[in-house]
Amino acid sequence: MKPSPYQVEILTIGNEIITGLVADTNSGVITRRLDNLGIPVTRHVSVGDDEAAITEALKQALARVDCVILTGGLGPTHDDITKKVLCRFFDSGLVTNNEVKSRIDIIFQSRGRETPQASYIQAEVPEKAAILYNTQGTAPGLLFEINGKRIYSLPGVPLEAEHLLETYVVPHLETLGAVKVKHRILKTTGIPESALWEEIGPVAPFEEHVKVASLPSLLGVRIRFTATGKNLKETTAKLDAAEKLLRQKIDHHIFAIDDETLEGNIGKLLVKNNWTLAVAESCTGGLIGHRLTNISGSSAYFLEGAVTYSNEAKQMRLGVDPAWIEAHGAVSEEVATVMAEGIRQKSGSDFGLAVTGIAGPTGGTPSKPVGLTYIAVTGTRGTYCEKFRFHQDRVRNKERAAQAALNLLRLYLLDES
């Protein structure tokens, strides 16, 4: 199927973007959303808060594509110049929009504050623009049309940009794509990319239905399927066929799909079976508890988390015998096992999860190097402990250990259920 002839460029504006102080996440969100409509984004361009640079970038973009989406520079401060530049570009004056002004007042009233006079600047809008009303912030979006081309200007705040994208831009553009495109991401963890694809085998059977991309990351490998078709029913059927084939190969490695998370799916398992959980952490410093409690409703199953970082805390809070630490070391299968069993007993939970390791970059020995980690999970079927060996970077080791612990818990719960 031929791609849509309708093409879009994204122009991101802000000194903070080009200096790297702030990451540009808006371009990725917009590109992925338009890709689902079958509308290609051909360029991402970033410029600073400079009138000449913005003007030139906009001229070049309009010479190439049918639609330009700008983000950033619509705020009330001195360095927010996008609106001023657009007024000059389109030879437009400013007018006061009373609805925007009223919406600004409502936002500040909801926060229990009076509206700062500076915020009313955002109610001054170009008379030649259509207004994209923003319920998530004080800066409205703008839409200009010239010679059959559209120029959208959206706030740089990601929440606001995505709100206006879904409210205005997508409904305006969704009929213009030649084909429908749909993606599905299947997330795996606990196995390197090369080993994963050895288990999956040749990619050709999948490509009868979809395009396949392998996306390795710190915490696992994501497999992205992309299907095209005349409508969403056709693309969904292709994705379902590819997913069924993949699950026949590596279902045990797949922990989530698309926007699902590992901790979210663990929460679903616990809720479904009316189970409870408690966690004892050492080297991860509370990261496992943090991830579990990121899920709304986690209070239904997460009883407590103990960061027993010192040997004394392991003894006093979890009942680890000092003799065990002396004999085996705090980073050992024996201590991880007692930590998991101790937190389960102390909290009265159905399951206990524990992790102990050497995060690094110091603290390792030849027999117990940096990255060595033991993770234990316990429940009605007894206690299981697994040994891991991560790398030198401290923060990454913590993240990997938390991911491995949650995945070990997931597999244990699946066996239990």
Q: What are the pLDDT digits (tens) for 186-201?
A: 999 999 999 999 999 9
Residue, of 133 and 77, whose pLDDT is higher: 133
Indicate whether 165 pLDDT > 60. Answer: yes
Tokens encoding 278: 């408690």
Residue 267 and residue 297 in contact, taking contact as beta carbons nearer than 8 Å: yes
Residue 165 DSSP label: I
Share of the chain above pLDDT 90, in %: 88
CA-CA distances (angstroms) from residue 192 to 60, 78, 195, 204, 297?
43, 49, 5, 21, 32
Summarize the confidence of residues 98-126 as an average pLDDT.
92
| pLDDT higher than 60, residue 417 | yes
Select from 311, 375, 370 the least CA-distant residue to 340.
375
Give just the sign of the alpha carbon dihedral 280, 285, 287, 289. Answer: positive
- The domains located in the chain, with CATH, are 8-173 (3.40.980.10), 180-257 (3.30.70.2860), 262-416 (3.90.950.20)
Q: What is the mean pLDDT of residues 15-39?
A: 93
Grade residue 2 by pLDDT with cuts at 50, 70 and 90.
Answer: low
Q: Which of 341, 344, 357 is nearest to 391 (CA)?
A: 357
What integer pLDDT is reported at residue 7 of this predicted model?
Answer: 94
Q: Which two tokens stand for residue 266?
A: 């663990």
Q: What is the DSSP letter of 25?
A: -
Alpha carbons within 13 angstroms on the beta-carbon side of residue 416 total 23
Which tens digit of pLDDT belongs to each residue from 223-274?
Answer: 999 999 888 899 999 999 999 999 999 999 999 999 999 999 999 999 999 9
Query: Per-residue pLDDT tens for 291-338?
Result: 999 999 999 999 999 999 999 999 999 999 999 999 999 999 999 999
The structure tokens listed for 401 are: 């250990």
Residue 121's pLDDT is 92
Q: How many CB atoms lie within 10 A of CB 414?
A: 13
